[in-house]
Amino acid sequence: MLMDFFSLDLTTITDTEAIIRLAPIVCQWYQYGMIGGESDLTAQRHQMVAEQIEGRGIEDTAVLQAMRAVPREHFILPQYRPHAYDDTPLPIPAGQTISQPYVVALMISQLDLTPNDKVLEIGAGSGYAAALLGQIARVVHTVERSSELVDYARQRLIGLGCNNVHVHLGDGSQGWPDYAPYDAIIVAAGGPKLPSALSQQLVVGGRLVMPVGRRRRKQKLIRVSRLRVDKFSRINLGPVAFVPLVGEAGWREEE
């Protein structure tokens, strides 16, 4: 019945009373993306990449292709679907947010990923960034401390067929040593310092991008490269504001 209704050309309904009764229902379905939205959202996604990502200086072809391919609306709560391609964070379960698309693209582009890379992500959140990473790299391991978000991310990644992305429950400030070392590490939460466990889980030649700052919700985005076993370089990519990295090598829960 629903599919039959969705296939109707609503402009052919001429009965005034029927139109009045259907109007609020149809508006709600449009709002939640249940009808008439997929082609619009695809167009919005391509426009967002052109204007907010490529238009702001991101040139990495693999990142741009991944951003065009992965539907952000799949990773957000239904009521926020109309805002899926606004360049802004949006709420997800467990009181967390999905980061703004430009910041996600910037961080991934700074990893200089290749198709053979093994990537560690700290802070799976909704799974959106992991899906993007999985479009570029060979395998992605993502660690999340919230069991609610682990389930949420897994369901959405499975729904998109992201078979090279693996979600783990744990303390991300300790990395994920079971599959170390990694060619690249990306951290989607801000810590007071770079956890040594993360830098030590990089291969020589590996890259790490993370927000770091002494204030709980105000950081600088840094890019770290492992030049030798005992030598690292660091550059500052600018100010950011991420949720705190909570864990043994991050902030305490109550801080």
Segment 7-61, tens digit of pLDDT: 444 445 555 565 455 555 444 444 444 444 577 999 999 999 999 999 999 999 9
Active site residue 99: yes
126: left (phi over 0), alpha (psi -120 to 50) or beta: alpha
The H or E element containing residue 166 is: strand 165-169
Residue 3 has what pLDDT? 39
Segment 100-140, tens digit of pLDDT: 999 999 999 999 999 999 999 999 999 999 999 999 999 99
SS3 118: strand
Segment 170-198, tens digit of pLDDT: 999 999 999 999 999 999 999 999 999 99
38-240 homologous superfamily: Vaccinia Virus protein VP39 (3.40.50.150)
Neighbouring-strand partners of residue 218: 215
Residue 215 has what pLDDT? 84
Those residues whose C-beta lies under 8 Å from the C-beta of residue 144, and which sit 6 or more positions away, are 123, 124, 125, 150, 153, 167, 168, 169, 170, 172
For residues 133 and 81, what is the distance between their CA atoms, to the nearest angstrom? 22
Q: In which residue ranges of the chain is CATH 3.40.50.150 found? A: 38-240
**Percent of the chain with pLDDT strictly greater than 90:** 80
Does the CA dihedral 96-39-133-154 come out positive or negative?
Answer: positive
17-20's contacts with Cβ under 8 Å and 24+ in sequence apart are none
Closest residue by Cα to residue 74 from 96, 54, 52, 98: 98
Residue 218 pLDDT class (50, 70, 90 cuts): confident
Question: Pseudo-torsion of CA 157, 206, 217, 60, nearest 10°?
Answer: -70
* Residue 240 pLDDT exceeds 50: yes
Contact 105, 63 (CB under 8 A): yes
Contact 217, 190 (CB under 8 A): yes
The H or E element containing residue 81 is: none
Q: Burial-class residue 212 by CB neighbours within 10 Å (0-12, 13-18, 19+).
A: buried
Active-site pick, 7, 39, 99, 147: 99
Q: Show the DSSP H helices in 121-253 as ranges.
A: 128-136, 147-159, 196-200
